[in-house]
């Protein structure tokens, strides 16, 4: 095992267990501050960056099963981030001591831009029409009625009425 492999493995292990480093979290809390908006925004921003990295990895993934699993995880994370937005929005509107009107307005803009960034993350779904949308218009016609009194089979009555309707609309 070369020194390069050893350093790479140690870095990967340190990165994996980095979330348990108490001193590092204390430093991060001091940077973000005691403001609830700033701390929540920092968390959302960090998760957003990690989701963007996962989306890039899913886009270049060759294994389709892995790509589908990654995209499902991306969709779950996007949903969780979108659930955090109302809380972030409430905190943006909340008056904080020492906060100017310009900073409150800037916070509102930050919330709207982060919402746009979350929605722009590619998650493997197509943006085309959903397959159920075509059926809604077809079933909304009220001129066809099933007559259950004619015979034992109501589908025969439906077929008869449908053929009459087709003849009328030719």
What is the extent of the structural domain holding 51? 33-119
- Confidence band for 147, pLDDT divided at 50, 70 and 90: low
105 shares its domain with 52: yes
Answer whether residue 16 is part of any domain. Answer: no
Q: How far apart are CA 92 and CA 37, in angstroms?
A: 6
User: Mean pLDDT, to the nearest integer, of 147-162?
Assistant: 67
Mean pLDDT, all residues of the chain: 77
Answer whether residue 75 is part of any domain. Answer: yes
Backbone angles phi, psi at 131, to 5 degrees: -65, -20
Overall number of domains in the chain: 2
Backbone angles phi, psi at 54, to 5 degrees: -65, -35
**Cα separations in angstroms, 168 against 105, 142, 143, 161:** 62, 15, 12, 11
152 shares its domain with 110: no
Between 29 and 53, the higher pLDDT residue: 53
Q: Which of 79, 85, 83, 78 is nearest to 111 (CA)?
A: 85
pLDDT (tens digit, 9 = 90+) per residue, 21-44? 777 666 655 544 567 888 888 888
85 shares its domain with 150: no
Q: What is the pLDDT of residue 168?
A: 82
90 shares its domain with 51: yes
- Average the pLDDT over each of 1-5, 46-50, 56-60 and give the range with the smallest value: 1-5
Answer whether residue 22 is part of any domain. Answer: no
98 shares its domain with 158: no
Q: How far apart are CA 81 and CA 126, in angstroms?
A: 20
44 shares its domain with 113: yes
70 shares its domain with 142: no
Q: What is the pTM for the complete model shown?
A: 0.53
Answer whether residue 24 is part of any domain. Answer: no
Q: What is the pLDDT of residue 91?
A: 85
Q: What is the pLDDT of residue 128?
A: 44
43 shares its domain with 113: yes
114 shares its domain with 65: yes
Answer whether residue 156 is part of any domain. Answer: yes
- Confidence band for 130, pLDDT divided at 50, 70 and 90: very low
103 shares its domain with 162: no
Between 36 and 62, the higher pLDDT residue: 62
Q: What is the pLDDT of residue 76?
A: 92
Answer whether residue 150 is part of any domain. Answer: yes
């Amino acid at each position: 095992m070369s020194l390069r492999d050893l350093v790479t493995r140690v870095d990967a292990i340190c990165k994996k267990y980095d979330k348990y480093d108490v001193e590092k979290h204390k430093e991060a809390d001091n940077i973000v501050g005691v403001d609830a908006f700033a701390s929540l925004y920092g968390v959302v921003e960090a998760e957003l960056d990690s989701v963007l990295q996962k989306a890039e990895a899913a886009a270049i993934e060759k294994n389709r099963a892995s790509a589908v699993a990654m995209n499902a995880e991306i969709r779950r994370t996007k949903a969780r981030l979108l659930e955090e937005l109302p809380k972030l929005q409430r905190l943006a509107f909340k008056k904080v001591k020492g906060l100017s009107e310009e900073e409150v307005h800037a916070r509102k803009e930050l919330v709207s831009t982060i919402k746009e960034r979350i929605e722009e993350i590619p998650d493997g779904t197509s943006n085309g029409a959903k397959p159920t949308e075509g059926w809604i218009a077809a079933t909304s016609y009220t001129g066809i009625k099933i007559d259950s009194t004619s015979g034992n089979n109501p589908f025969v009555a439906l077929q008869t009425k449908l053929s009459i309707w087709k003849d009328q609309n030719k």
